């Protein structure tokens, strides 16, 4: 037996967290016992009879593995399996228009929304995926722009069609959305419950004062209206998950004030449905004070009764990004098919379109073979990196930007200012 390459020992107060990144397994010991555990891991067979329970804990958690077990090959096999899982995830952009004009938004808000013809093609595509491709489940993720600008025209009719289609074919149907939350109301939320909406991501730009300066509403405080709508979502939809994404820069990052102001509007009984995700605005460089502020806010979040998203910053499925999955695509308002949504040209340069029979016709010959055969973590740096199982390598967007050729390696940065060790601690503390 040998010890795993992906074992971590992370100190927290008087304890050490022993974590295996390959299996997401962990246990906690007193800091003064750390060297003893490391010695056991160096020669595990010596302790098989002496400490059978602890030996089995190490074995079951993949802290120790067979001498001939190739962990890197295991990661590759997991990746290749996961990219082909037939749970279909379709991201839909009914429009690129938005009722706000956030200064940092990546998208150019060109005018236009889905025509009846594009909606018909999309429904034909859903029917093809369910009845011909035999997908195992269907998830629609409404994105934009602001998708609820055209709720009645797009979201409602497509959701009705998709739900009936899945019921008829006896497969699960889920709905998610990324929205600014401003255009929702009680009537719409009641209907979203019927359409199986169980996950929302809604952004706040810092505390009330900073948020209202970025998301300007002449009629009311957009901060308060959005949070009141989040409250309605939590009250009306059972088992819903609302991620409040805090887009921060150096000026608006005040986590304690943000959590306290949210708590003033969201009652205790609804807070368990809400998680916070702090994400640095992409144009900003690393903010030195941010790490300390973010990792120390978890105690207040728990104290106030909110949930912790312990896997937000850990790749737990051996997939670096949704775009890596074969059964995940994006359709824009003009009918163009894309993979990545983090771009400003989701109205041109499409990768494909919906064919007459409902399948996707890719513009590039052998698109799927080229796109899904490129494991960007197959490079010298990632292969040696202990974070690989919870990171899975460079952003696949770099592959598109490089003309669908494997780009020169570049380690992608995290979406906030914390370290992987911080995320590991959060994961472990939330699962004890």
Q: Are 240 and 270 in contact (CB under 8 A)?
A: no
305: left (phi over 0), alpha (psi -120 to 50) or beta: left
Nearest CA to 91 out of 160, 178, 162, 201 is that of 178
DSSP state at residue 285? P
Question: 342 and 336 in contact (C-beta within 8 Å)?
Answer: no
Residue matched to tokens 């246990």: 27
Render pLDDT for 53-76 as a digit per residue (tens, 0 to 9). Answer: 999 999 999 999 999 999 999 999
Q: Mapping DSSP to helix (H, G, I), strand (E, B) and coil, where does residue 202 land?
A: strand
Using the predicted structure, report yes or no on whether residue 412 has a pLDDT greater than 80: no
How far does the chain reach from its first CA to its final CA, in angstroms? 27
Evaluate if residue 401 carries a pLDDT over 90.
no
For residue 286, pLDDT over 90 is answered with no
pLDDT digits (tens, 9 = 90+) for 172-193: 999 999 999 999 999 999 999 9
For residues 233 and 218, what is the distance between their CA atoms, to the nearest angstrom?
24
Distance separating alpha carbons of residues 277 and 271, to the nearest angstrom: 14
Q: Residues of the chain with pLDDT > 90: what percent?
A: 85
* Contact predicate 187/229, CB 8 Å: no
Token output for 206 = 């810092």
pLDDT in tens, 216-252: 999 999 999 999 999 999 999 999 999 999 999 999 9
Residue 413 pLDDT level (bands cut at 50, 70, 90): low
Average pLDDT for 98-120: 93
What pLDDT is attached to residue 212?
A: 97
**Is 90 exceeded by the pLDDT of residue 358?**
yes
User: Is the confidence at residue 271, as pLDDT, over 90?
Assistant: yes
DSSP string, 278-342: EEE-TTSPP-TTHHHHHHHSHHHHHHTT-B--TTTTS--SS-S-GGG-TTEEEE-TTS-EES--S
pLDDT (tens digit per residue) in 365-396: 999 988 988 889 999 999 999 999 999 999 88
Mean pLDDT (the chain) is: 95
Please give the pLDDT value at position 131: 98
Distance CA 395, CA 401 (A): 11
Stretch 202-218: mean pLDDT, rounded? 96
Paired tokens of 337: 């098919």
Half-sphere exposure of 149 (CA within 13 A, CB side): 20
């Amino acid at each position: 037996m040998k010890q795993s390459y992906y074992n971590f020992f992370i100190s927290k107060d008087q304890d050490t967290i022993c974590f295996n990144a390959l299996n997401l397994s962990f246990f906690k010991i007193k800091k003064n016992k750390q060297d003893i555990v490391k010695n056991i891991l160096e020669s595990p067979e010596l302790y098989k009879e002496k400490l059978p329970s602890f030996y089995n804990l190490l074995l079951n958690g993949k802290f120790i593995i067979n001498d001939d077990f190739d962990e890197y090959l295991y990661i590759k096999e997991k990746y290749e399996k996961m990219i082909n899982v037939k749970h279909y995830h379709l991201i839909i952009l009914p429009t690129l228009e938005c009722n706000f004009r956030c200064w940092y938004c990546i998208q150019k808000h060109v005018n236009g929304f889905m025509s009846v013809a594009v909606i018909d093609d999309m429904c034909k595509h859903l029917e093809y995926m369910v009845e011909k491709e035999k997908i195992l489940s269907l998830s629609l993720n409404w994105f934009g722009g602001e998708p609820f600008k055209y709720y009645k025209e797009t979201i409602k009719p497509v959701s009705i069609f998709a739900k009936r289609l899945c019921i008829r074919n006896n497969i699960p149907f889920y709905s998610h959305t990324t929205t600014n939350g401003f255009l929702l109301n009680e009537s719409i939320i009641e209907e979203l419950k019927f359409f199986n909406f169980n996950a929302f991501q809604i952004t706040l730009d810092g505390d009330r004062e900073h948020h209202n300066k970025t998301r300007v509403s002449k009629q009311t405080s957009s901060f308060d209206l959005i949070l009141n709508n989040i409250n309605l979502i939590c009250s009306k939809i059972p088992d819903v998950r609302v991620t409040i994404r805090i887009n921060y820069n150096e000026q608006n990052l005040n986590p304690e004030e943000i959590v306290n102001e949210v708590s003033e509007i969201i009652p205790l009984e609804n807070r368990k449905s809400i998680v916070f995700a702090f994400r640095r605005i992409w144009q900003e460089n690393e903010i030195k004070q941010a790490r300390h502020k973010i990792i120390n806010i978890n105690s207040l979040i728990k104290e106030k009764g909110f949930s912790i998203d312990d896997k937000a910053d850990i790749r737990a499925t051996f997939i670096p990004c949704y775009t890596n999955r074969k059964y995940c695509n994006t359709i824009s308002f003009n009918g163009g098919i894309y993979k990545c949504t983090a771009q400003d040209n989701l109205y041109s340069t499409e990768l494909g379109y919906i064919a007459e029979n409902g399948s996707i016709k890719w513009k590039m010959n052998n698109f799927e073979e080229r796109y899904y055969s490129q494991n960007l973590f197959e490079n010298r740096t990632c292969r040696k990196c202990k974070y690989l199982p919870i990171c899975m390598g460079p952003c696949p967007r770099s592959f598109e930007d490089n003309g669908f050729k494997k780009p020169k390696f570049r380690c992608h940065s995290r979406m906030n200012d914390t370290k992987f060790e911080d995320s590991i601690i959060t994961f472990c503390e939330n699962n004890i």
